[in-house]
Amino acid sequence: MADSLAARANDLASRREPFVHATVVRAQHPTSAHAGDTALVMPGGDILGFVGGNCVESSVREYSLQVLASREPLLLRVVPGEPSRTAEEGAVEVSNPCLSGGAIEIFLQPRVPAPRVLVVGTTPVAQALETLGAGVGLAVELMDGESARPQAGDAALIVASHGKAEEAALEAALRAGVPYVALVASGTRGAAVLESLDVDPAQRSRVFTPAGLRLGARTPGEIALSILAQLIQERATSRHTAPAALSPDRAEAAAGAVPPTAVDPVCGMTVPAMESSLQIEYNGVTVYFCSPGCRAAFRKDPERYALTP
């Protein structure tokens, strides 16, 4: 099992797909999991591997999705008791009345691919961006303007091609919603390129040109450094932007990063309201559960629980 999970994790990483690596670091009897048990939690909530029974999996699923959104690791502790949760920096304790006994601690480590930066061109500046970008945790890909296929999830598109196939790549990045779009050019040539773009003025204004912070850069390496510094600055600014200040499409994406939750009407546990959670339809409403036992209890006597807050 460990080998197959490791192979799956490597495959996901190679395809730049995010997931959470969950590892049991401590287990008290009579929990069914043991220290060292591992699982992969997918963005859709599916759990591959074993880190505990259904009651534990419900909390693992909920907090793994939060970890994917925050990109910060978390120590999850699940203990028996009436529904409650206590959070502190880097850790959370969840009490679950369905737990048969014992306690379990699971370390949730997000595995998120390095931000992808598309660089159009093979100029010395482009090559310096590739070299320096790896050192600051970016996945830099060099390509020509005709083959550039920017996506909304990309961190940046930087054109450093000295006039070759610039417009098509810039327009594609702006229409895809790439957050940082830059053109390496003089002020005069950059303004001319912007004027030629077939986009609206608001999109055109998003292009950084001349690219980079004004550091007095002269060599290709210095210019690349100034561009990466500007990119890092813009990414940091966007992380601290209040949701209300985001454009409607970005605000919607940010709100959807963590799925909504629901309360199991039988035991009172909070569970993710998503397809991968246990559920049934009752009177036209989807009801979610933390375990098969709670779902079975509801099916046996739904009227007993239907009005539970």
Q: Is 25 helix (H, G, I), strand (E, B) or coil?
A: strand
120 with 193, same domain: the answer is yes
Q: What is the DSSP letter of 121?
A: -
Mind listing the pLDDT tens digit for each residue in 234-266?
999 887 653 433 333 333 333 346 778 999 999
Residue 85 lies in a domain: yes
121 with 224, same domain: the answer is yes
Q: How many domains does the chain have?
A: 3
User: Are 287 and 280 in contact, with CB atoms under 8 Å apart?
Assistant: yes
| Angle, in degrees to the nearest 10, between helices 220-239 and 124-135 | 50
CA-wise closest residue to 62 among 295, 292, 290: 290
Q: Is 53 helix (H, G, I), strand (E, B) or coil?
A: coil
User: In this structure, what CATH number is given to the domain that contains residue 218?
Assistant: 3.40.50.720
90 with 133, same domain: the answer is no
Cα separation, 305 vs 288, in Å, equals: 12
- How many CB atoms neighbour CB 221 within 10 A? 16
Mind listing the pLDDT tens digit for each residue in 195-210?
999 999 999 999 999 9
Which one is predicted more confidently, 104 or 16? 104
Query: Which of the listed residues 207, 242, 277 is the one where a domain comes to its end?
Result: 242
Could you list the residue range(s) of the whole structural domain that residue 10 is in?
Answer: 2-111
Cα separation, 176 vs 284, in Å, equals: 37
User: Which of the given ranges, 147-151, 168-172, 234-238, has the highest pLDDT on average?
Assistant: 168-172
Q: For residue 243, with 0-12 CB atoms within 10 Å meaning exposed, 13-18 middle and 19 or more buried, which class applies?
A: exposed
Cα separation, 287 vs 307, in Å, equals: 12
Mind listing the pLDDT tens digit for each residue in 21-59?
999 999 998 888 999 999 999 999 999 999 998 889 999
> What pTM was computed for the model?
0.72
| Residue in the block written with tokens 């450094």 | 225
Which whole number is the average pLDDT over 87-101?
A: 91
174 with 290, same domain: the answer is no
91 with 146, same domain: the answer is no
Residue 266 lies in a domain: yes
95 with 123, same domain: the answer is no
User: Are 148 and 117 in contact, with CB atoms under 8 Å apart?
Assistant: no
